[in-house]
Structure formats: structure tokens, C-alpha cells
Amino acid sequence: MSNESLANLMTETRRFAPPAEVVAGANVTAAAYEAAAEDRLGYWAEQARRLSWEREPTETLDWSNPPFAKWFADGRLNVAYNCVDRHVEAGNGDRVAIHFEGEPGDSRAITYAELQREVSQAANALGELGVATGDRVAIYMPMIPEAVIAMLACARIGAPHSVVFGAFSADALATRIEDADARVVITADGGYRRGAPSALKPAVDEALTRPGAANVRNVLVVRRTGQDIPWTSGRDVWWHEAVGRQSTEHTPEAFDAEHPLFILYTSGTTGKPKGILHTTGGYLTQVAYTHHAVFDLKPETDVYWCTADIGWVTGHSYIVYGPLANGATEVLYEGTPNTPHNGRWWEIVEKYGVTLLYTAPTAIRTCMKWGDDIPARFDLSSLRILGSVGEPINPEAWIWYRKHIGGDRTPVVDTWWQTETGAMMISPLPGVTLAKPGSAQTPLPGISATVVDDDGNEVANGSGGYLTLTEPWPSMLRTIWGDDQRFLDTYWSRFEGRYFAGDGAKKDEDGDIWLLGRVDDVMLVSGHNISTTEVESALVSHPRIAEAAVVGATDPQTTQAICAFVILRGGAPQEEGLVEELRAHVSKELGPIAKPKRILAVEELPKTRSGKIMRRLLRDVAENRELGDVTTLTDPAVMDLIQTKLPSAPSED
């Protein structure tokens, strides 16, 4: 028996020094850590100067009523002006802001000058529809330029947006419209996914039949696919008509730094989704700073691509606000990675000469499964920095990413953050950090994070526990929309005076931070708290395993037993003795305590649209329970597939 908060079972000894050319030209050097440690608030005040303020803030942080922070409170600025107009004024109107690549292969380059005109038109159209400063606008869109334009238009007039994933159901959309009391919905007839038009508008129509959505006056509809859609005259308005006829000029008004910028609902595994509220000045400061520091962005020469959906916080912070505030040129891709072929992403990297790529571990593991030969067919030599976000990246996937996508040359930055944190918090710096595959390593300059035990005491190096953030940061959530008490209870009550992220983590012998998954997923096996991440990493380091998800299932002998769901590389059939071999492999990597009791080969794992494995559903399967809410799954049918497999499950010895 041990009373550790979370076991530390895995060691990783590989190290990668930053390449000389990245070190030589790095935007941020080791000196930043010292400067920020000496004067944290001064450091953030300096970062705020990357933005153009109509009124410069004189106060950096007001923490007089914790945890309700005010950053740069007496400053005033306009987010859309910062992301668009100022680049045009600086003489960069002809620079491409967005290279749009549609799934069917259509493409469109939008310069900053064009973006300024279109955002202005959209802002004028929203005004004409009666959207006033402070009104909420719901956005339910495919990954097309109008989604970005719609968000910027809302920001321009100070109307907080609430973007809802295009794949969410009418129900999920209705709940979010109701909670934010949205007045207008911006959508499209549909978008292209997996080679076919997929409708969006009917879900909006259905959502608007719910009583909670009664305050929605108008639906602004982009024509993307041209498919037939139902139409409610008087309420529904075509984008190309209502926006197209507007003046291309619009004067942006400055708002207080603490004016609400957007609400974004977390995937919320249980209960009512939480509307995470972000505000203006602090948020924009930190997304711009981190995008500059962690991607080492050179706006004149880099081509940046983040593969996330704008319905996820990564899309908000690192497709829309961070890159555009920095005047970047970026790719926006509408479709799936395997349409029309498994090399589509790499074809896009080659086509646009992408230099900075930001994606999720789940996508990397999927590409590993498809085979090394696929990226090898494309010229990926333009790439210079690779980023990862969304889940812990297991060391094997990190190494594959660096080798097969980054030509064994590029730094890989594993960035830990959350919808709630608004921007990156823990990440290596590409020109500074000696990289360790699988670890997010160090809090960024100006960020304070540590790992604590059950009693809130900092753990020693080499031990595991709970990740906490110990000082306020500019892009922190300000509250849960309409529910301050839930904000306090969820994030600020577990550890006195600290933000509790809900993630397990450990500090290694050097003090570097390793993320170990959600604490709700931690397994209790014979008195040991074992993280799902370490067992999954060990499984995936076996050559036959492409992906793995483990859960703790109730067990009479050991409290919980480790049950693993694995996807075999190169597909079935499963050779005899494989299960035993895998159990022995995990035992060798992590110790006998972490050996899965059951291992089940499956075709797919249940994932959210942002690529996170929904272990809660796998726990339902492992404990033969009826499935919980599956509405946020990418593909609810995978659960049927997994369940039909269960009776023939290879079980323990």
C-alpha cells in the first residue's frame, strides 16, 4: 500500500536539443524566464504592448476579489482592429491572412485588406440585424472563412460569440443558445465532410423550435454547398445578401479590457455544459504572446496551420485570435485528413509550404496507423516547428511526429492548456528547451504551475499528484457564464487560493511536468493511483499497437482492474498470445501493478470532435452498464461496434 496521490511509473531518457538555426533566431530566449520570475506583472504589462490600445492600461492586475481577476482594467481596445485593421495600416494589406482550402479542392486566398473589408461588412450587417454591444451571437459553422469573419465581426461590435461545434446535435445547440440567450445564429447551409455536403441548417431550425431559443430573431446563413435547405422567411437571411450589400467600411469602437469577448462551452462530460467566459485585453495579450513565443512566428515568412476546428478553444485562440493578432499567414482547411486520400494533410503542407503545424496527438497516432509511407510521398521540408495539444502525447507518437513529419529536424512543442486557461500555459520554447518526448515540461514565462498532493503540498521531484496554477494569468476564464458559484466550486475550492485544473501530473527528476490525464480517469488498483496516460503510453510503445485507451473497471479483488481497449496496427487478425505479450510488455515498462487485466482489440475508440478519448463511455462498456450521453462523440456508431465485441473479449488468465 502506498499513499501517493498518483504513481510515477514511466521514465523517458531521450533528449533533443533545439536546432542551432532556431536558437539563433528565436523570438524568445531563456532570458524571458528570468525577466518574468523577477517581475511577473511587469512581464505581462510588457506583453500587452504587442497590442494596439486605444487607451493604454496603467494597471496590470486587479486581484482584490479573487478569483475574479481584472487584467489591464483601465485599458481600452478593439480585438478586430488588432487582428485585422492595424496590419493593413502598417502596410501589410497585401499579405495573405488566410489560405482557405475547401475539402472538394476549391481554394481562396484572403489578404488582410480583404479580411478588413469583409469583417467590416459583416459587422455592418450584424448592426442592421439589431445586434448591439453585449448581445450574444451563436455561431454554428463549418470550417470556412466566413466562420472566422463572423467571429471577428462579433468582436468588432463587442457582441460576445458562442461558437458551437458544427457536428453537435440540435439538442446541444439549443442548450447553448438558451444558456447564453443568443439573439442571432450564424450558420451555413452545410459544409463538405468526407467527400459529401453535410447539412447544418436543419439542426438550427430544429434547435429554434425549443422554447429556450425563443429570443433568436434572425439566422444568418452562408451559402457553402448550395444544397436545398428549409427556409423561414422573415427570420432567415442569406449572408451573401445581408453582408454583401454592406459598406466595406466600419469604424471599430474600443471596449474595456474586461468586456466579454466570447463564451465557449466545455465538452462537459457530465451535467449542464459550462459556459467559459473570456474577456478582451488579457485574453488577446496571452494568445498573441504565446503564439509568438511557442511557434516562434516570423509573420513575414512563416506559413502557419492549426488543424483544430474553430468550435474548439484551440480554433479560437490559435486559428483566429493569436495568429491574426500577430499578422500571420495561415491555412484554414475545411475537411477531414483522409478525404480524398490519407495524404491530404501532407499534400496541403506541400502546397502552401507550411512552416508551423499545430495538431492533436490523436491525429498523429491515426497518421502513424496509416503508415510512414504516406507522409514520405510529400515534400515536408518547409516545416520548422511542430506543435501538439489536446491530450498527453505519448513518447512514441512524439518521436514519430518529429521523425516522419519533421524530418528528424524540427522541435516538437507539447502545449498544455484548457478552454478555461484560454491560452498555452505549460510548453517548451522551441529555441530554448532541451526537449523530452511526452512532456509539456515547463510553465511558460509569466505562468506559475505546480503539482501538489491531496493536502495541497507541492510534491517532490519524481512524484505525482494534481496540477494546479498558483498565480492568476491574463487569459484566465473570468467565470462560468451566469454561474459564479459553479466557477468557485469547480476550480477554486479543491486547493485554497489555487486553480485546480482537474488534471493529474507528475514532476520528473529534473522538475519537468508530465501531464497524466484527467483525475476523474485515474485508476485505483490495489491501493495505487495509476494514470491512464502511462499505461496507454506503454501499450502504444509496443509495435503492434496503434492506439490505446485504458479505464479502471470495478473489481472485487483490487478495487479497480485495468481494462485496455487497443487498436492494432495493420489491423486484425490478432495473433495468438498477443494479449499475454502486451501484458508482459506493460509490466516490463511500468511494473506489474500496471499490467492490464483485460485487453480488448477494437476497430475504433470513442472520441470527441476535438480528439479526446471518452473514457467514461469505455468504463460503461467495461462495467456492462448502459451508455451515458454520446452526443458529443464524433461518431456514435463506434460504441455499437465496441459493444458487439465485448462477449468475445479476450480476458485475463
CA gap 161, 420 in Å, rounded: 16
Q: Which of 415, 468, 532, 541 touches ligand 6R9 (CB under 6 A)?
A: 415
Please state, in angstroms and rounded to a whole number, the distance separating the CA atoms of residues 605 and 210. 32
In the numeric block, which cell numbers belong to residue 325?
493578432
Q: Length of the chain, please? A: 653
Which of 281, 428 has the CB closer to ligand 6R9?
428
Interacting span for ligand 6R9 (CB under 6 A) from 337-345, 384-392, 446-454, 586-594: 384-392
Q: Does 363 bind ligand 6R9 (CB under 6 A)?
A: no
x/- map, 32-51, ligand 6R9, by CB under 6 A: --------------------
Are 134 and 256 in contact, with CB atoms under 8 Å apart?
no
Establish if 264 lies at the interface with ligand 6R9 (CB under 6 A). no
| DSSP symbols for 224-249 | SS-------TTTEEEHHHHTTTS-S-
Which residues are documented as binding site for CoA? 193-196, 314, 338, 526
Window 583 to 612, contacts with ligand 6R9 (CB under 6 A)? 610
Q: Which residues of 76-86 are buried (b: 16+ CB within 10 A; e: fewer)?
A: bbbbbbbbbbb
Handedness of CA 321, 323, 325, 327 (dihedral sign): negative
Distance (Å, rounded) from C-alpha 226 to C-alpha 289? 40
Of 480-519, binders to ligand 6R9 (CB under 6 A) are 501-503, 515, 518
Shortest gap between Cβ of 514 and ligand 6R9 (angstroms)?
A: 9
Listing DSSP states for 575-597 in one string gives: PTTHHHHHHHHHHHHH-GGG--S
Cis peptide before 472 (omega within 30 of 0): no
By CB under 6 A, residue 475 contacts ligand 6R9: no
Query: Which residue, 274 or 404, has its beta carbon nearer to ligand 6R9?
Result: 274
Q: Which three cell numbers stand for residue 413?
A: 512543442
Select from 122, 389, 594, 614 the one that contacts ligand 6R9 (CB under 6 A). Answer: 389
Residues contributing to the annotated binding site for Mg(2+): 540, 542, 545
Residues 414, 508, 512, 589: which binds ligand 6R9 (CB under 6 A)?
414
Alpha helices in 414-528 (DSSP H): 484-491
Q: Which of 16, 239, 416, 565 binds ligand 6R9 (CB under 6 A)?
A: 416
For residue 531, the minimal CB distance to ligand 6R9 (Å) is 11
Q: Is 540 in the site for ligand 6R9 (CB under 6 A)?
A: no
Residue bearing cell 503564439: 291
CB of 467 to ligand 6R9, least distance (A): 8
Cis peptide before 411 (omega within 30 of 0): no
What's the min distance (Å) between Cβ of 505 and ligand 6R9? Answer: 9
E-assigned strand segments in 556-634: 559-568, 598-601
What the block records as the C-alpha cell of 260 is 466579454
Q: How far apart are CA 554 and CA 72, in angstroms?
A: 49
- Between 157 and 164, whose beta carbon lies closer to ligand 6R9? 164
Determine, following the binding rule CB under 6 A, whether residue 550 of this chain makes contact with ligand 6R9: no
**How many residues of this chain interact with ligand 6R9, rule: CB under 6 A?**
21
Q: Which stretch in 83-91, 206-214, 416-424, 490-498 sits in contact with ligand 6R9 by CB under 6 A?
A: 416-424
402, 412 contact by CB (below 8 A): yes
Minimal distance, residue 613 CB to ligand 6R9, in Å: 11
Residue type for 241, please? E
According to DSSP, the residues that pair with 500 across neighbouring strands are 468
Sign of CA dihedral 9, 10, 13, 18: negative
- Name the one range near ligand 6R9 by CB under 6 A: 90-98, 395-403, 415-423, 633-641: 415-423
Cβ within 8 Å of residue 498, ≥6 positions away: 452, 456, 468, 469, 470, 492
- The yes or no reply on residue 531 touching ligand 6R9 (CB under 6 A) is no
Residue whose CB is less far from ligand 6R9, 146 or 420: 420
Q: Is 250 in the site for ligand 6R9 (CB under 6 A)?
A: no
**Quick check: 390 binds ligand 6R9 (CB under 6 A)?**
yes
Q: What is the footprint of ligand 6R9 within residues 294-323 (CB under 6 A)?
A: 312-314
Per CB under 6 A, which region of 14-22, 214-222, 403-411, 414-422 contacts ligand 6R9? Answer: 414-422
CA within 13 Å, CB half, 652: 9
> Considering only residues 418, 442, 532, 541, which one is a binding residue for ligand 6R9 as defined by CB under 6 A?
418
Known binding positions: 193-196, 314, 338, 390-392, 414-419, 503, 518, 526, 540, 542, 545
Q: How far is CA 547 from CA 317, 527, 536, in A?
A: 28, 27, 8
- String of contacts with ligand 6R9 for each residue 433-452, x by CB under 6 A: -------x------------
Other CB atoms within 10 A of residue 209 CB: 10
Interface with ligand 6R9 (CB under 6 A)? 266, 312-314, 389-392, 414-419, 440, 501-503, 515, 518, 610
